[in-house]
Structure 1
Amino acid sequence: MNMEFVMLICSATLQEELEQLFRKHKISAFSQIPTVYGSGAGGGTRLDTEVWPGMNMMYILALPDDKYAIVKGWVSEYRSHKPREGVKLFTLALKEML
């Protein structure tokens, strides 16, 4: 079975929407990093300060191809809308999981 290692970085405002997606598709194994600061073309700068308000969060997942396709499809669809919050998906081939 092929697996993808996924880092999903998004505005913290998308937490409930993403976790609904995970529940709906029985994606129950993930790690969440609740506070991630950074800057990107899609969501701007988020440092949780007066000058740069807001913050991001990150999900780390190891997904089989079928579940990865669901998450990738959601991100692609979401990013096609304007205006929107920032969301970025990074993947690496997962060689081994112990």
Structure 2
Amino acid sequence: MLLSKVSDDPITLQVNTHAISLNNARELKEELMQYLPHSNTQLVLDFEKVFLLDSSALGALISVQKELAQSGSELIIRNASKSIKEMLHNVRLNEFVTIQDD
């Protein structure tokens, strides 16, 4: 499992891998989708351990955000490294996903 639940309100999930890529992006998306019916307003991903994202990971995050937006919820990425934050800003994902420091 790539995710472990840290708290319930809001649902906060720790990402337990250093890299989200073609190898595990689909698994990440499937695990996140399990939490969608339970997230009332926010689904928080703690990226403290993540140091690498590829285009597959970005696609998975965008897909999850679209599903959340349909129900009035939002995806929040917390504790991302400086390089991950820069990448998210460069591809303008920050326009659709909230990025927090902690």
TM-score when normalising by structure 2: 0.29
Q: Which has the larger radius of gyration?
A: 1
Q: Which has the higher strand share?
A: 1
Structure whose residues are more often helix by fraction: 2
Q: So what's the TM-score if we normalise by structure 1?
A: 0.29
Higher relative contact order (CA 8 A, sep 6+): 1
